[in-house]
Structure 1
Amino acid sequence: MRLALAAFALAIAPAPLIAQPADLGASIDADMDELMAHYRHLHANPELSGMEVETAAYMAAIARELGFEVTEQVGGTGVVAIMENGPGPVVMLRADMDGLPVIEDTGLPYASTVTAVAPQSGVETGVMHACGHDTHMTTWIGTAMQLIERRDEWSGTLMMILQPAEETGEGARAMIEDGLFERFPMPAYAVAFHDSARGRAGDIGIAPGYALANVDSVDVTIRGVGGHGAYPHTTKDPIVIASRFVTALQTIVARELDPLDPAVVTVGSFHAGAKHNIISDEAELLLTVRSYSDETRAQLLAAIERIAMGEAMAAGVPEDRMPIVTVRESEFTPSTYNTPELASRAMALFQDRWGTDMVSEIPPVMGGEDFGRYRREDPDMQSLIFWVGGQPADKWDETGGDATKLPSLHSPFWAPDAEIVINRATEAMTLLALDLFEGN
């Protein structure tokens, strides 16, 4: 079926591999002109988190044309496309849709010129797919096309979802709270991929176990007693207290956590005062806190509050001026855990197809991804997100594979080798879906 363009070795032994479809690569190659036309459209027309109205409509129309039963406006702008194809497991494939408030500077002929008012800041900004979600959506289309063409090769229920607001950590929660797994089947498997700025275009990386981190945003207001800068003895200087607080925070990871338990506490903003000779009443600090396990997360958050209170008490701050520590629970993004059995299965399948030079185990990262929320709804669900490198091969080779010398995700210069990413990811997602259906 062809569409017109629409508006690590693991301890767990992998399951037996399916026979690799001999024609799959050629079939995807034949689709690439169409897929790249979709990609260029999506890249040129990004929408911010929670505002993906046109993107969702565009993608839903494609899914309907392919024959899926499509439901729109799930959790806001989310889309769910279902294809029942006989008995078998429910396999969920997910792509995210939102762009970022970034002014594009790639020089691409189809570069985004879109502007929008960012809801969180109220500031008008350029909008760009600086995280590669356009490659994710295009791969979603390519995988859907392949699986529809191969309906005689699998049995089960294919559940393909398009998620809004991944960048703000709100989209997965919104879809779940809108009844994603009550109105639609609970999947046995959930799979996604993400393009990567840390790898050569087409290389695949899998992190077994924890793959991405818990992400917390914490606001800390250090309160003091303000006054004249010439008479500091009459005040309780919140800048001094907050400075000691920032320094003491460094001991949480260094001295309170097991050295083998990764964590990050970063102060991203420190603001206090407005004039040279005035000691302010308050200092405002914004923190990002990263961890993997829920237990470590709880320990970090408790330590932050304890240290804030302790520094205020040590400075003699009045009891009614103790710090205010606010964890923004609505912005919490849980860690993403790749279930070892599924990670092993995908690793064996992909290495059988592309070899160990192009498919490898990679370490987890401290970035966040709300894909991890889906598995938390059912601990029996097997879940996997894998990476497909996006750095153009010539630039990768020029730097000797040093990703720090190349544009990163969220950069205005991020321009992955989209054709290779989409081709490779489409084949990988299709192979894995076929394997999950057949292997049961």
Structure 2
Amino acid sequence: MMDLLLLARELDSQDPLADFRKRFLTAEESDVVAYLDGNSLGRPLATTPDTLSDFVRSQWAGRLIRGWDEGWLSLPERIGDLLGEVALGAAPGQCIVADSTSVLLYKLARAAISARPGRSEIVIDRDNFPTDRFIMEGIARECGLTIRWLDTQYDAGATVAGVTGAVGPATALVVLSHVAYRSGHCADVPGITAAVHAAGALALWDLSHSVGSVPAELDSWGVDYATGCSYKYLNGGPGAPAWAYIASRHLPNFSQPIQGWLGSADPFAMGGSYEPAEGIRRIVSGTPPIVGMLAMQDMLGVLAEAGMAEVRAKSMALTDFAVRAVDELLGNHGVVVASPRTAGQRGGHITIDHPGFADMVPELWAAGVIPDYRNPSGIRLGLSPLSTSFEETLRGVRSIAERMGRN
């Protein structure tokens, strides 16, 4: 069996995307030995400081309020179209950058429920990200609906069979994640969406843990609504704005639950009553976060250059290698891989479980090894395809193994 370090170096030497690692910024005095949390916060691009500085100096300071008429107001739609083209498989006019994922989940879910009057249930899995669950619970209270909980395996996620068994004539909306935040399970979006539609319901997909690492084809998959954040694999930075997708067939009757002025047909008319804008802009409520979307725009250019098919191939190779390293170095310590073992069934991260991990993670962080921890006992190894190497991945797993060996 090949030594893991030799294998990691061989894989790095053969990696067609290896040069992209130079595109990311590392602090001059960084203590980071292995950054394995790109599924929570992506590294900044090396161009990001100049992008932000140039905007402040030349556009904000130079053009001042004139900037709104000179391109700022249309930037959310332009970046949305770019995102749709590069990573989402969405034709122009269906994606936009706005708000946070939480706010967009609320807007999209309320609109979907309005589009299915007389239906009384929302279906969502119990292991979905807390925000998704909490928001749906709140909407159910507001609208007098019932939550139908979908149970999933701890190391997997929603399946066609599971969703088919849960939906029915009372189902208005099904809310699921493309890639499960804990296990990394990659759902069969077209298959599940077809099952939802067969029941007469609508599907809302959260792509927060997949966009930028797992290609999507929202149009051809028949997806109704989707949203996701931009600070993970899209490298938009802490708190960067989210994005929304509304299939063109739903736009004419989209019911906006938060009627802000910039989502109106003529914002600067300062009209007396609300009339929704045409197209995707009707999901907008307030002033768009221009500065917050600039780094994301740069990253979309990098993803377009690399190609999402190549990004996905690298992602699967990284997680395959991580699983192998965990098996060889941690298997004898009782560590369990709590993610699908087939590369095509998982996204860009894997979760490994052990009762001692909660106490270990602070030690790892202090040593410059940075994964993250998710209850009840999981370390997530988030492997960003363009910024993470195979050797860096091995350093992280070895650091965990060294601490397991001392206990």
TM over 0.5: no
Larger helix fraction of residues = 2
Superposition TM-score, scaled by structure 2 size: 0.26
